[in-house]
Structure 1
Amino acid sequence: MIDKIRNILRNKDNNQLIKNFFSLSVLKLINAVLPFVTLPYLIKVLGMQQYGAIVLGLALIAYFQAVTDYGFNLSATREIAKHRSSNNQLTLIYSKIMYTKAYLLTFVLLILIPVIFIVPQFKEDLIVYLLMCLMLIGETLFPEWFFRGVEKMGYIAGLNLIVKLSFTIGVFGLINTPEDYWLYPLLLGVSYIAVAIISHYIIFKNFKLRIVYIGLIRVKKTLKVGFPLFVNQFVPNLFNNTTNFLVGMILGKTYAGYFGATRQVVQLLTVFDSVVSSVAFPYLIRFKDKFHVFSKHYLILVAIVSTFLVIVHQYIFDIIGIKYEYDSEVFYVLILGFLSIVCYTVYSTNYLISRGHDNIVMKLTILTSLVGFILSFPLIQYFGILGGAMNIFISQFILGSGSYFYYKKIEKKGTL
């Protein structure tokens, strides 16, 4: 047994996979734990209404962040993984993605800022929404897709650690009254921008890359090629983010805070899924025959971890200060949604997309998102916060079951 483990570790690809897993595990653990360190404090100091304003602001920014991301964490990662041995190709890919992101960022800011000033519901917390733009800028400029493509997840872990620690220290040191809630987006935005600058310095110095001029024609081509994955990444906002947004707009900022805090608990599992999916994606592109072993063992592990969180969730709720009507029921429904989304990441992201079936995933995602978008208003209107959870679950269930259906269909045909 020991010899078998040693042989596995001696293999260069397996060794890199394990390093990436632990690097991203540390990153995601930090991303999961630090918000839980600050969440009870923020709810206590700011109150659920002010915290709800932050949740609503994050929901607004998420629409525009999905545009600037443009699915590059999949499409650019895939391209980097295929050409990582060529410095010239990496320079070209790096440059065209950054130029494209710069155009997208300019485009969304020209829309977002007027929207913040025009919509009456945003005027009460105007400074919060405007400062959220800093976070949008920082996240847009952060080249996570590059580090994922070259399978150097340690850089992502280290840089995100800087963001989260800086933000957490700032929260405890500077946010002391409900009126300080505007500091939340300021601290987060400044941290993201600083880390984005550091990350590009690392790319220049350690990977010997540079920015070369990319004309508008190549930018348009990049947008065209990446469009299916952009749609795949963006349209889930129609049910996922819109649900958060409508809970705040229909039920009020206090309920937005409760719903956001409950989803933060489920985020513990989502973080775990994100680690595994991020590490597995570039690996499974190169070793497609490993998928069946990966999917079988991973789904079993997810079922065990989910069961544990269901058992202990009430203790977590008590620590954070989550207590409202149907709080456990909302949590159970969201857990079922999480299990469905794991099937989606396994069979869509790590099977269909890794094999280039982007259009299939795009069509499935569009259909699901439209269903979720249509159902979101009536479900929240008639069933309140529980209706919001139901909408998330219904949409995620369609995604998960649909992904599995197409996986079986392609496997039956013997398509790679």
Structure 2
Amino acid sequence: MSIFSLIQKHKSLTSNFFHLSFIRLLNISTKFFLVAYLVRVLGEKTFGLLTWSEAILQYFIVFINFGFNLYGARYIVNYKNDRNMLNKAISTIYIIKGLAFLLSLVLLGALFYFNSFNANYKILYVLLIATLGDLLFPIWYFQGTEKMKLLSKPVLIAKLLLICVTFFLIGSSEDVLVYTFLFAISQILMGTLGFITLKKDIGFIFKIPEKSFILEVTKTAKYYLLGNISMLIFNALTIFIIGYYLTMEKVTGFDVCLKIVFICILPFEILQAVVLPIITKSQSKTELKKYFILSLVLGFTLYCILFFLGDNLLLLFGGENILKYSDTLKKMSLLLLTVPATFILGQCGFVAFGNDKRYNFSLTVVAIIYFIIVIGLILSKTLRFDTIVWLRVFSDYLLFGILVFQAFKTKIFYIKW
């Protein structure tokens, strides 16, 4: 088969991979442009405070998305040829996410009884308002219909606006609240443009679904919500703990290292999002195994590159003050050996083959183990920055081992004797 024929055969996959890559690269490059600028302008402490606040809001974002950023695509794949059911499914997703947003407003208000949260209530509430963008942004719809190209323009407009206005208006640590307002505006703009694009694409008409259908969708989605909350423990909770028990400066160092590692993981995150609808339809275990092995090989290659070039990236994105976290970056680069394969096997393999409960259960088990160890470190007063970094790495290795075991147990993988 010629290369041209191969490209034509997988035209939809190639197109969606390209456009999802563009969207994710735009998101991550925006973050890096802003990190490189804001760390220098706001200073380590204020930037750490902003990152700490964003880590808290990640739980609200996950709650508002309610697992639909992954699971919603399956509804679209199943109903995309039935306009009535498609409208009902989309309406249901928006209703559930809207209710979750309203409840989040109440929950955040309750947190202000604690002094640590009350001192930063303005930043936290503005960031919560920004989640309206996450509520509206229908990436799950365009993943399911394999039309990621249509989302490129809304994301490009919002991100370029945020970068330009930030460089123009933010000049000191006093401007941190101004930046959060700019971020909120850009997120809401992106979500609104994404929703308008969805409406134009299918002529979306809001339909009030039956109560039984809402309950059915909620019941299934809650497992993805639980899994996503568990995943947050590894990053968002780690950042929270560092900021609460250690220093905001260390939050900045950890966050910059984490972003550098995750830009290396980005291609695998894109790949699993694009391949999910394909494997869901084909149910090909052979294809899944190929992607899994590829992720292991490329992950090792990226680990070697980052191990030797990490200091250059720290200098580029954080400045000379962040170079002191060189050893931290080397430790965290070990994540590249497992996380890419975990993305493919967990978020693509288990979900595509209907074993999503096992996947989310595995996430929850590891999250509970992580949480128990952290509580033990706090109570024994042995919590140190290096310890929490090593624990972060250990958690992903444990998750990887459990998922591989589950893959063989459920016959997703098997050994030929």
| CA deviation after TM superposition for structure 1 residue 331, in Å | 1.4
2:78 aligned with 1:76: no
Give the AA of the match of 1:300. V
Aligned equivalent of 1:295? 292
Aligned equivalent of 1:112? 108
CA spacing shift, 1:84–1:124, aligned 2, 3 Å: same
Give the AA of the match of 1:46. L
How many angstroms apart in 2 are the aligned matches of 1:126 and 1:318?
32
SS at match of 1:411: coil
Q: Residue 27 of structure 1 contacts residue 158 of structure 1 at CA under 8 Å; is this kept in 2?
A: no
| CA deviation after TM superposition for structure 1 residue 214, in Å | 2.7
Aligned equivalent of 2:30? 34
Q: Residue 94 of structure 2 contacts residue 135 of structure 2 at CA under 8 Å; is this kept in 1?
A: no
Deviations 1:144-174 (A, max 9, x none): 1111111111233332222221111121011
Q: Residue 341 of structure 1 contacts residue 399 of structure 1 at CA under 8 Å; is this kept in 2?
A: no
Q: Residue 242 of structure 1 contacts residue 373 of structure 1 at CA under 8 Å; is this kept in 2?
A: no
Aligned equivalent of 2:394? 394
How many angstroms apart in 2 are the aligned matches of 1:263 and 1:132?
21
Give the AA of the match of 2:368. L
Pairing 1:7-406 to 2, within 5 Å after superposition: 7-11=5-9, 14-115=10-111, 117-289=112-284, 290-319=287-316, 320-321=318-319, 323=321, 327-379=325-377, 382=382, 384-406=384-406
CA spacing shift, 1:329–1:413, aligned 2, 3 Å: closer
Q: Which moved more, 1:258-267 or 1:153-162?
A: 153-162
Deviations 1:310-344 (A, max 9, x none): 22110111122264686233212222224322222
| CA deviation after TM superposition for structure 1 residue 129, in Å | 1.4
CA spacing shift, 1:288–1:156, aligned 2, 3 Å: same
SS at match of 2:81: coil
Q: Which moved more, 1:379-388 or 1:152-161?
A: 379-388
Q: Residue 342 of structure 1 contacts residue 400 of structure 1 at CA under 8 Å; is this kept in 2?
A: no
Give the AA of the match of 1:250. Y
How many angstroms apart in 1 are the aligned matches of 2:195 and 2:42?
35
SS at match of 1:212: coil
How many angstroms apart in 2 are the aligned matches of 1:368 and 1:202?
38
How many angstroms apart in 2 are the aligned matches of 1:103 and 1:362?
23
CA spacing shift, 1:340–1:302, aligned 2, 3 Å: closer
| CA deviation after TM superposition for structure 1 residue 195, in Å | 1.7
Q: Residue 246 of structure 1 contacts residue 377 of structure 1 at CA under 8 Å; is this kept in 2?
A: no
CA spacing shift, 1:58–1:322, aligned 2, 3 Å: farther
Deviations 1:181-233 (A, max 9, x none): 11222111111111211112112212222111135443232211212222111
Give the AA of the match of 2:24. K
Structure 1, unpaired ranges of 5+:
none
| CA deviation after TM superposition for structure 1 residue 96, in Å | 0.7
SS at match of 1:160: helix
CA spacing shift, 1:376–1:339, aligned 2, 3 Å: farther
Q: Residue 295 of structure 2 contacts residue 340 of structure 2 at CA under 8 Å; is this kept in 1?
A: no
Q: Which moved more, 1:174-183 or 1:374-383?
A: 374-383
How many angstroms apart in 1 are the aligned matches of 2:406 and 2:52?
35
For these two proteins, the number of residue pairs brought into alignment is 409
| CA deviation after TM superposition for structure 1 residue 95, in Å | 0.8
Q: Residue 273 of structure 2 contacts residue 348 of structure 2 at CA under 8 Å; is this kept in 1?
A: no
How large is the Cα RMSD of the aligned pairs? 2.0
CA spacing shift, 1:368–1:280, aligned 2, 3 Å: same
How many angstroms apart in 2 are the aligned matches of 1:354 and 1:207?
25
Q: Residue 154 of structure 2 contacts residue 190 of structure 2 at CA under 8 Å; is this kept in 1?
A: yes
Structure 2, unpaired ranges of 5+:
none
| CA deviation after TM superposition for structure 1 residue 91, in Å | 0.8
Q: Residue 158 of structure 2 contacts residue 190 of structure 2 at CA under 8 Å; is this kept in 1?
A: yes
| CA deviation after TM superposition for structure 1 residue 141, in Å | 2.0
Q: Residue 61 of structure 2 contacts residue 131 of structure 2 at CA under 8 Å; is this kept in 1?
A: yes
How many angstroms apart in 1 are the aligned matches of 2:406 and 2:224?
17
SS at match of 2:62: helix
SS at match of 2:338: helix
Aligned equivalent of 2:411? 411
Q: Residue 281 of structure 1 contacts residue 354 of structure 1 at CA under 8 Å; is this kept in 2?
A: yes
How many angstroms apart in 2 are the aligned matches of 1:199 and 1:30?
15
| CA deviation after TM superposition for structure 1 residue 376, in Å | 2.6
Identical amino acids, percent of aligned pairs: 21
Q: Residue 243 of structure 1 contacts residue 376 of structure 1 at CA under 8 Å; is this kept in 2?
A: no
How many angstroms apart in 2 are the aligned matches of 1:240 and 1:226?
22
Q: Residue 70 of structure 1 contacts residue 234 of structure 1 at CA under 8 Å; is this kept in 2?
A: no
Deviations 1:90-130 (A, max 9, x none): 11111110111111111111111331x32211333332112
CA spacing shift, 1:10–1:105, aligned 2, 3 Å: same
